[in-house]
Structure 1
């Protein structure tokens, strides 16, 4: 009886877990399915029929008109800004994390505490000084105006993740490298950087997802379509297609596809990397 009761309880818990998983799947996927389905409708059909009805025919005119516009300029700008920013974030945060994890220097713990505290600084509180700084150094309305703030605000969480990751790397490897005559810089590049690949991938994917969707800095620090990124494409197309719901959702779909592909490919690394440091051994 006891074994049967335990088995029934386990099955009930598993059934509840499956139901909750299906509910969460519906909550997360139905909005995106709605966006895709509506983007294939004509403007007239979107107003006349049910919002959840499938399109009577696939209408690609919305996508054609968008792709003939400045969409690829926005895409190029996003790829450039996000790519350079993520590269700088990975290199700078990994070097800082190695210093905090393995090097003994004055006020090391205090500085690490300040880095962690920087994660709670609200972005909106820095908009005015950053805007004035960018204007004064002549970088306003350029791609470089975004890279600096993107890197600066992404470093604290990246350093925190990689520091906890590097602390788990055995010190014996470092000691063996010291016996071979390697200094801290060589130890970092030859041992810690290669062994931190899972953590580095987590930081890269996490920041790429966040920066791809970043809106407020892109809106404040750029003003022309030639230098704006994809989140601003949605904002700009809103004015052009304010009454054309399928066209607006087609922009959202095109903007989301690269991000969904990247995250679907690397979500396991993100989850594992975020858990780095939570377990010992």
Structure 2
């Protein structure tokens, strides 16, 4: 116990750590929400519509799963620098990182929601349409409550992946858009392994209440067996 010390926390660049915490928190809030909205819309078109393009949409949503995240990060880097850099300042921003995160997580989310939508009979929606409900209200009043366990699991999984994601952040983060995993990486390869361990411990402590909260909501959503 005598060797325990807080000196590594004093040696950290707290301004940088707080900036990384702010960016990471922004990504953790925005990315899972956008992924869920996009994934539900894609899954509804694929499973419920009769459009001849639904298979193309399904393939496009699953395609990022076949691409290494390094490739997507480099592609986004080139996009921000040479394609849209003149009129859209994405390069070096947290929004470019968020865009890649969303694209990378669509594959898992759409697979999960597809399989759950297939288990919900169309007659429930047809009855809602016959009662005068729109597609949006039918989704809100009928489909979302039935899909709640799936949506919750997608949210949990996406949040945890975004929280710890390193590869994309290392390629795309700037000094203003740096995330906590990128800070740990920079400390580690800059010789500050003690500071890297300190930031890692802070990340673990910060995410623990979130995991417990998700676990509590997950237990409440489970129907007890008779």
Please give the range of the TM-score, normalised by the shorter of the 2 chains.
0.7 to 0.9
Contact kept in structure 2, 1:86 and 1:208, CA below 8 Å = yes
What RMSD, in angstroms, separates the aligned Cα atoms of the two structures?
2.6
- Distance between the aligned counterparts of 1:114 and 1:222, measured in 2? 26
- Hey, which bits of structure 1, 4+ residues long, moved more than 4 A? 267-270
Contact kept in structure 1, 2:23 and 2:177, CA below 8 Å = yes
Q: Offset of 1:133 from its aligned partner?
A: 0.8
Q: Offset of 1:141 from its aligned partner?
A: 1.2
Match of 2:185 in 1: 235
- Distance between the aligned counterparts of 1:177 and 1:82, measured in 2? 34
Q: 1:138 to 1:247 in 2, by over 3 A?
A: closer
1:257 aligns with 2:208: no
Gaps of 5+ in 1: 1-54, 274-281
Match of 1:56 in 2: 2
Gaps of 5+ in 2: 222-226
SS in 2 for 1:227: coil
Match of 1:168 in 2: 119
Query: TM-score normalized by structure 1?
Result: 0.68
Tell me which structure has the larger Cα radius of gyration: 1
Contact kept in structure 2, 1:202 and 1:269, CA below 8 Å = no
Q: Offset of 1:110 from its aligned partner?
A: 4.8
SS in 1 for 2:12: helix
Q: 1:234 to 1:245 in 2, by over 3 A?
A: closer
- Distance between the aligned counterparts of 1:99 and 1:181, measured in 2? 21
Q: 1:246 to 1:124 in 2, by over 3 A?
A: closer
SS in 2 for 1:77: helix
2:49 to 96, 103, 116: 103
Q: 1:185 to 1:68 in 2, by over 3 A?
A: closer
Q: 1:170 to 1:219 in 2, by over 3 A?
A: same
Contact kept in structure 1, 2:62 and 2:106, CA below 8 Å = no
Match of 1:140 in 2: 91
SS in 2 for 1:70: helix
- Distance between the aligned counterparts of 2:156 and 2:41, measured in 1? 18
TM-superposition CA deviations, 1:218-264 (whole Å, max 9, x none)? 1222221x320101110222355x2x544332121112223344334
Contact kept in structure 2, 1:90 and 1:204, CA below 8 Å = yes
1:73 to 19, 29, 50: 19
Aligned residues: 215
Q: Offset of 1:65 from its aligned partner?
A: 3.3
